[in-house]
Structure 1
Amino acid sequence: MREPRELHFDTRDGSALFYRHWPALDGPGEQALLLLHRGHEHSGRLQHVVDELDLPGFAVFAWDARGHGRSPGRRGHCPGIATATGDLDTFVRHLRDRHGIAPENLVVIAQSVGAVIAATWAHDYAPPVRALVLAAPAFKVKLYVPLARPALRLRYALAGNFEVQSYVKAKFLTHDPARIASYDADPLITRAIAVNMLLGLYEAGERVVEDAAAITLPVLVLVSGADFVVHRAPQRRFFERLGSKVKAYHELPGFYHDTFGELRRSEAIGLVRAFVRKCFDAPFERPDLRTADRHGHTFDEYRRLQAPLPEGSWKIPYYAAVRAGLALGARLAESIRIGHETGFDSGSTLDAVYRNRPAGFGPPGRLIDRLHLDSAGWAGIRIRKQHVEALLADAVRALRRAGRPVRIVDIAAGHGRYVLDGLATLPEPLEAADSVLLRDYSPINVAAGRQLIAARGLAATVRFEQGDAFDRDALAALAPAPTVAIVSGLYELYPDNAPLAASLSGLAAALEAGGFLIYTGQPWHPQLELIARALASHRDGAPWVMRRRTQGELDQLVAAAGFDKCTQLIDDAGIFTVSLAVRRAS
């Protein structure tokens, strides 16, 4: 039996999560496996997997997810799916920095709930790991009780978070008597799961299955053929929709849910061993996504949204009714009125979303405005604002530690509210040598931004000028040279990659090595068609049709311009990402 070291790593919020490290028995141990346990369990129950895989040249790591095993937190609880995927991303970066494991030399092997977290992370973060192995991924849990999910959602909305106890007995997880006995006797088994995580796993599973084409890593999917815990149909759909060139699917007849703990688990373990070796037999490569604006699944989706609906479609009267409702709403609710007048993607609309103060004609108008401001997209925009502020603070701290000035530029700031709010939350105030330059193409936004700067008494430090965020030469000539550049909510509005490449190239020329870029993305949106069919853009009132960029596509454009991604944040709905990258030395 390989003996593990017992260690901890720090998450973004300061939690010290427990993990085990089994050093390689042969060679330098530059290749590694990362094991993610099932729901309710912990890394100690994966010792047999480490031994039975029989890959002595690989280091192996396994964590206890927060709220599980020997990691801290209320048992079975987690702030949300975004926290879980963020923890995983932080752990992979920790393995690189602490143990020298490059992501491209790492295979992630995950079961059940762990497999959903791994698949969601692969979708949302586009990590450059070697491969994924997903065993019995819990994309859709069998709840058995009719209408259980709507009932849980209603109670959560009315009463807040609460715990759901697992109904699954060990005898329905495996046929192995020893595994059944150890499960029943294990004091670290966590039978509770917080309802926010249960519902979040359902939602994450649905969007990842629907948009699995965004995942291009090599993937092995193992399906337990007699699984009492999760549905198998979504697992098959996920596999069929994967964008991976290298992928494999195996259904294991008679297996219960604990795929790697079953009596005949040598079959599953053998498939994993062969897949891992196959992935390392070939050189590491990733598909080039920089031309995804001309072909691929998001391009095809964009073309469908541009096209008129087929004659006779039920969607024609539906979206006509939505547009009529919005026209009426514009007479009553302030934020809808602003959207109608300036475009729902305009800086003025976003400023109203950031202010988040419902206004309108009497109580009905304020109620309509409140419902509009609380829609999934606008709620995500406000979380994106918080994430921009958090990564701006990270960049400022890093520059202060290096003894460098803080010179911030935002190349498409809208009214600039989110940047000014971010400055107010910085860990240290700006100094006399520091500066902030806000730019925007719209004279309306520039005028509104200057008023906001004056109202806050920041004219000595912050200035606002008109400028084109896609003018490569103008950006390259920015003076004084910025040390932090922000691009928030801009690139998502433009389908073609050539303007983005020009913009990023200009920022790379302006920033010195070691300077920071904060950029946002929108890899997913649940209301994409509604937006395209019902909302107008700021560009001549044309329909607001967006082409989604996968995080992999966006990150590759950023990397090609000369930046290395450091970290990323995302909301629980998986709509908006905010990333921090550092300018490479030429």
Structure 2
Amino acid sequence: MRQAQECRFNTHDGVALYYRYWPASDQPAPAQRRGVLLFHRGHEHSGRIAHLVDELDMPDVEFFAWDARGHGQSPGARGDSPSFAASVRDVQTFIDHLQTEHDLAQEQLAVIAQSVGAVLVATWAHDYAPSIRALVLASPAFKVKLYVPFARSGLGLMRKLRGNFFVNSYVKAGFLSHDPERIASYDSDPLITRAISVNVLLGLYEAADRVVADAEAIRVPTQLLISGSDFVVHRGPQERFFERLGTQRKEKHILPGFFHDTLGERDRHLAVQRARRFILQNFEQPTPQSSLLDADRIGSTCAESETLAAPLPHNSLGDLYWRATRAGMRLGSRVSAGVKLGFETGFDSGSTLDYVYRNQPTGHTAVGKMIDSNYLQSIGWRGIRQRKLHVEELLRLAMARLREQGRAVHIVDIAAGHGRYILEALQGVEPLPESILLRDYSDINVRDGTALIEEKGLGHIARFVKGDAFDRADLASLSPRPSLAVVSGLYELFSDNRQVGQSLAGLGDACEPGGYLIYTGQPWHPQLQLIARALTSHREGQAWVMRRRSQVEMDQLVQAAGFRKITQRIDEWGIFSVSLAQRVE
């Protein structure tokens, strides 16, 4: 039996999570090193899947298995996490750790995950677009069988009334596996926790709904193992997930008679052998790379945006509903400052975004202020404010890296709006950048952004000019050459990939070799219908119809312009991503 080393890694918020590491027993050449990550099911820990290391029989492969926060030997309240999204980000931090500490790049890794762990990993694959070699998902818990009518809505209501609380699992060991040893060890294992927090449980449901609906965005080769007699999770969402998967290389295996603990069943060799074969095949073959550079002209997000742009049948229920919604918002704009500004300048304008960033409800009368407060607390605007924080975080990270390299910091933002996120990211930064150039097409944004520069006392290093973010030649001639370029919230408003590609190519021409690029994306949005049917754009009052770009598509556009993605942030709802890339030298 291979022996595990006990290790820890620090997550993004400083929590040290426990993991087991099994070095390869047959040392391969450095170029042939490979790793497999194991993610345990809910309530359990890495020790419960350690048997797979020997059963998979891959002596030249390194294995890693973590204890998720709140589980096993990792810290935190048992069964809890700051949020489901925080645990998803822990997955990315774990991957980053393996690259820096074990010298294993994403392209050298495969993943096996079960139940709740499988949903964590599927969400990570959707939101972060990793370039791993293979993904094996065993009985993903996309929809837990709660058996109580309206249990999910009831738990949501109780959380609103009393905050986070814990519920205990009803599942007995005998309903997880037919293996007597697994049943006995489950009942006697002191590290197993029966509780799960409502925050995590409801976050699991919300992430699963999103990932199943948008599985087409996942391009990692994926094998799905479904237990045929699963008393714990529903099979329907697993089937829909598989049907929608966007990868060209996918397999589905239904295992008759298997209970929920697929990889811990009495006859688990039937599942383990298939997982082993799938992983080895994908290690031996190049990962298929389907280009999404033409996804604006063909594919699911193209069709989705065309549907949103098409008028509804006159006087249909949908038409009447959205006409009433628009009328209600027009009425609200008489007393709500934010809604009024949206109709005047466009709900996607720099002026609107700056108002959303400030997050100070304003209106005529108490009713107007209440409407404005509800407007500012919509999930889209909460995501926008989190995007601002992520842009500021990565700005500070990129500036620190440039200083560590002994390089000057010359910042350019090609569509800055009012430039608030750039200027506020400089709070506490020493030394300040050598130069900041803010650009925007709008005279209003140039005027108000210039005033904000003066308000912040940064006129000695910053200036605001009018410029076209899609003029490649103009961008290529920027002076001084930027060492840190920013484009935030722009490409989401334009569906044409050729247009976006020209803009990115201009930044690629402009940036110094080794310089950095911060870019944003919108792989998901739960309010696309509302935005397209009720809100107006800054473009002469046109409907605001957005085409989503998967993270894979956005990253491919950036890569085509000569940049290599380094790291990424995304909000807890999976709406807005912010990434940092470096110009290839």
- 1:186 is displaced (CA, Å) by 1.1
Matched residue, 2:134: 131
Does residue 1:218 correspond to 2:191, yes or no? no
Give yes or no for contact 1:377–1:525 (8 Å, CA) kept in 2: yes
Q: Secondary structure at the match of 1:474?
A: helix
Matched residue, 1:41: 44
Name the CA distance, whole Å, in 2 between partners of 1:407 and 1:259. Answer: 54
Matched residue, 1:296: 299
Q: Secondary structure at the match of 1:579?
A: strand
- 1:523 is displaced (CA, Å) by 0.1
Name the CA distance, whole Å, in 2 between partners of 1:47 and 1:454. Answer: 60
Matched residue, 1:404: 407
Matched residue, 2:561: 561
Matched residue, 1:429: 430
Q: 1:246 to 1:312 in 2, by over 3 A?
A: farther
Tell me how large the CA RMSD over aligned residues is.
1.3
Name the CA distance, whole Å, in 1 between partners of 2:15 and 2:208. Answer: 26
In the TM superposition, 1:333-348 aligns within 5 A as 333-348=336-351
- 1:456 is displaced (CA, Å) by 2.2
* Letter matched to residue 380 of structure 1: G
In the TM superposition, 1:59-138 aligns within 5 A as 59-138=62-141
Matched residue, 1:493: 493
- 1:530 is displaced (CA, Å) by 1.5
Matched residue, 1:182: 185
Does residue 1:379 correspond to 2:382, yes or no? yes
Summarize deviations over 1:549-570 as a string: whole Å, max 9, x none.
Answer: 0000000111111111111111
Q: Secondary structure at the match of 1:537?
A: coil
Summarize deviations over 1:496-520 as a string: whole Å, max 9, x none.
Answer: 1112111111112221122111111
Q: Quick one: which of 244, 248, 254 aligns to 1:245?
A: 248
Q: Secondary structure at the match of 1:35?
A: strand
Does residue 1:325 correspond to 2:328, yes or no? yes
Name the CA distance, whole Å, in 2 between partners of 1:178 and 1:149. Answer: 33
- 1:101 is displaced (CA, Å) by 2.0
Matched residue, 1:484: 484
Name the CA distance, whole Å, in 1 between partners of 2:500 and 2:52. Answer: 45
Summarize deviations over 1:9-68 as a string: whole Å, max 9, x none.
Answer: 222222221111112222416122111110111111111111111122221111111111
Name the CA distance, whole Å, in 2 between partners of 1:336 and 1:83. Answer: 32
Matched residue, 2:60: 57
Name the CA distance, whole Å, in 2 between partners of 1:351 and 1:159. Answer: 34
Matched residue, 2:552: 552
Q: Secondary structure at the match of 2:569?
A: strand
Does residue 1:151 correspond to 2:149, yes or no? no
Write out the 4+ residue segments of structure 1 that deviate beyond 6 Å after TM superposition. none
Which sits farther off after the overlay, 461-470 or 91-100?
A: 91-100
Does residue 1:509 correspond to 2:512, yes or no? no
* Letter matched to residue 555 of structure 2: D
- 1:289 is displaced (CA, Å) by 1.2
Name the CA distance, whole Å, in 1 between partners of 2:555 and 2:61. Answer: 28
Q: Which runs of 5+ in 1 are unaligned?
A: none
Q: Quick one: which of 144, 166, 175 aligns to 1:141?
A: 144
Q: Secondary structure at the match of 2:333?
A: helix
* Letter matched to residue 129 of structure 1: I
- 1:577 is displaced (CA, Å) by 0.3
Matched residue, 1:307: 310
Name the CA distance, whole Å, in 2 between partners of 1:154 and 1:506. Answer: 50
- 1:492 is displaced (CA, Å) by 0.3
Summarize deviations over 1:434-464 as a string: whole Å, max 9, x none.
Answer: 2211111100111011111222222112211
Q: Secondary structure at the match of 1:332?
A: coil
Name the CA distance, whole Å, in 1 between partners of 2:490 and 2:84. Answer: 26
Q: Given the two structures, how large is their TM-score scaled by the length of structure 2?
A: 0.97
Q: Secondary structure at the match of 2:207?
A: helix
- 1:393 is displaced (CA, Å) by 1.2
Name the CA distance, whole Å, in 1 between partners of 2:431 and 2:301. Answer: 41
Q: Quick one: which of 263, 266, 272 aligns to 1:263?
A: 266
- 1:244 is displaced (CA, Å) by 1.3
Name the CA distance, whole Å, in 1 between partners of 2:444 and 2:315. Answer: 41
Give yes or no for contact 1:517–1:582 (8 Å, CA) kept in 2: yes
Give yes or no for contact 2:248–2:288 (8 Å, CA) kept in 1: no
* Letter matched to residue 165 of structure 1: N
Name the CA distance, whole Å, in 2 between partners of 1:560 and 1:27. Answer: 36
Name the CA distance, whole Å, in 1 between partners of 2:414 and 2:545. Answer: 22
* Letter matched to residue 518 of structure 1: I
Name the CA distance, whole Å, in 2 between partners of 1:312 and 1:342. Answer: 29
Matched residue, 1:233: 236
- 1:152 is displaced (CA, Å) by 1.4
Give yes or no for contact 1:407–1:483 (8 Å, CA) kept in 2: yes
Name the CA distance, whole Å, in 2 between partners of 1:359 and 1:222. Answer: 53
Q: Secondary structure at the match of 1:531?
A: helix
Q: Secondary structure at the match of 1:423?
A: coil
Matched residue, 1:26: 26
Give yes or no for contact 1:406–1:430 (8 Å, CA) kept in 2: no
- 1:239 is displaced (CA, Å) by 0.4
- 1:159 is displaced (CA, Å) by 2.3
- 1:149 is displaced (CA, Å) by 1.1
* Identical aligned residues as a percent: 60
Q: Secondary structure at the match of 2:183?
A: helix
Matched residue, 2:209: 206
* Letter matched to residue 36 of structure 1: F
- 1:324 is displaced (CA, Å) by 0.6
* Letter matched to residue 538 of structure 1: H
Name the CA distance, whole Å, in 1 between partners of 2:339 and 2:359. Answer: 12
- 1:311 is displaced (CA, Å) by 5.2
Q: Secondary structure at the match of 1:309?
A: coil
Which sits farther off after the overlay, 194-203 or 17-26?
A: 17-26
Q: Secondary structure at the match of 2:77?
A: coil
Which sits farther off after the overlay, 279-288 or 213-222?
A: 279-288
Q: Given the two structures, how large is their TM-score scaled by the length of structure 1?
A: 0.97
- 1:2 is displaced (CA, Å) by 1.1
* Letter matched to residue 192 of structure 1: A
* Letter matched to residue 10 of structure 2: D
Q: Secondary structure at the match of 2:382?
A: helix
Q: Secondary structure at the match of 2:50?
A: helix
Q: Quick one: which of 160, 163, 184 aligns to 2:163?
A: 160
In the TM superposition, 1:405-484 aligns within 5 A as 405-424=408-427, 426=428, 428-431=429-432, 434-484=434-484
- 1:579 is displaced (CA, Å) by 0.6
Name the CA distance, whole Å, in 2 between partners of 1:435 and 1:283. Answer: 43
- 1:361 is displaced (CA, Å) by 1.4
Give yes or no for contact 1:30–1:100 (8 Å, CA) kept in 2: no
Matched residue, 1:578: 578
Name the CA distance, whole Å, in 2 between partners of 1:442 and 1:280. Answer: 50
Matched residue, 1:273: 276
